[in-house]
Structure 1
């Protein structure tokens, strides 16, 4: 079993942690904009924490099995495998194309979010808001698409799903996704990320409306230069 999976897992989880960790405290109540019912769910900070817990558990489980499999002489390795893998299923853990794709997308999503945090600075909050002395940022990733932060979220959460649902992953090969508990946890993750993703996509339009009202001609010039909301050349 290739130890090369370990650094890939680490980079992916750094990407997930960056994506789901707010870079600043919540916006003040007077800075928040009126929102939809979906937005009330999206801005809850407990959701990202649950996603982190689920994903870190799966990542640590996979990394632990890989290390134990590569150290068969250690007694603790056999104890670990007896709990985290059954009937030689640890041998099925491998570097697959879906693993490479999933971890790459997750890490890429985190990098995009990091660049957005840096570019917006204190203006970036997990809540839809116009902060005191707000300005329209059109540089960095915002010169490519108008909502790159949301693109980062989509890439990250779908990258995680591709990784763990694909062949060669610990979750799929060693049993977690074959158990009632594992399937229940996977369903919680799916519901959370689907709700958050759709909520963010809905928020894009409301953000455009708010920025259009606040910055008028400056916003119109930006839209002319950067016509796509999420995917360069497509959407």
Structure 2
């Protein structure tokens, strides 16, 4: 796929990569500590993801650092190539052994846009729910039903944002002109296995959130808030994507 602007696109890619990395970092970081056992045991006993949430957070954190690391390494490689007087040549060779060009393509631009938008949406959800936003299903003391901000658009906007953010990271990892592709990592058996294991695990985690967890949370909130939840569900009928699902 052709670059957006061959003369200037590599350097234009740097701020996109940095913003993408920052938004991915905050979007994949829990905004509050895990709830107390007594706040979650009522709902989590039969849910695999919730029962293993501490392990899942460690694995997600590893994925977060990997995704952010690739984006930052790509930005560093571009800067090393375009600021040769500031950065020793052996550093650039280390960052990008093949000496390939990390162009900004329409695909990578869309990937960064998805990552940035998804991350910002996650942060919006964190701020809207405050202490009530937890990674493990629970009902907090004095818990209030969140119906404003992104929760007035769909009932589970944080999972919508997560899906967008992960899709952006996957596209950025696999697209032509990406660091993983141009460094030769995807051409090596170990590198390919590593990247696709990462994608496989995060895809499983995402599927669990968007399909199983949304149904569980709807059932819990309906039980807890009754008519208030039913009125909100009528006004906000879609779980993840308006007019789709």
TM-score bucket of the superposed structures, by smaller chain = over 0.9
Corresponding residue for residue 64 of structure 2: 52
Corresponding residue for residue 20 of structure 1: 28
Corresponding residue for residue 120 of structure 2: 111
Residue 177 (structure 2) aligned to one of 152, 168, 175: 168
Q: How far, CA to CA, are the matches of 1:157 and 1:42 in structure 2?
A: 19
Q: How far, CA to CA, are the matches of 1:147 and 1:180 in structure 2?
A: 38
Structure 1 residues 205 and 75: alpha-carbon distance in aligned structure 2, compared to 1, 3 A threshold: closer
Equivalence map 1:178-193=2 (5 Å) = 178-193=187-202
**CA distances 1:150-195 after superposition (whole Å, capped 9, x unpaired):** 0111000110011121111111122121122321220231122112
Does the 8 A contact of 2:25 with 2:68 survive in 1?
Answer: no
Q: How far, CA to CA, are the matches of 1:132 and 1:161 in structure 2?
A: 38
Corresponding residue for residue 3 of structure 2: none
Structure 1 residues 152 and 199: alpha-carbon distance in aligned structure 2, compared to 1, 3 A threshold: same
Corresponding residue for residue 208 of structure 1: 218
Corresponding residue for residue 141 of structure 2: 132
Corresponding residue for residue 69 of structure 1: 81
Does the 8 A contact of 1:41 with 1:196 survive in 2?
Answer: no
- Uncovered stretches (5+) of structure 2, i.e. residues with no partner: 1-8
Q: How far, CA to CA, are the matches of 1:119 and 1:187 in structure 2?
A: 34
TM-score with structure 1 length normalisation?
A: 0.93
TM-score with structure 2 length normalisation?
A: 0.89
Q: How far, CA to CA, are the matches of 1:74 and 1:233 in structure 2?
A: 51
**CA distances 1:112-171 after superposition (whole Å, capped 9, x unpaired):** 111111110100011111111111110100000000000111000110011121111111
Q: How far, CA to CA, are the matches of 2:115 and 2:244 in structure 1?
A: 21
Does the 8 A contact of 1:42 with 1:199 survive in 2?
Answer: no
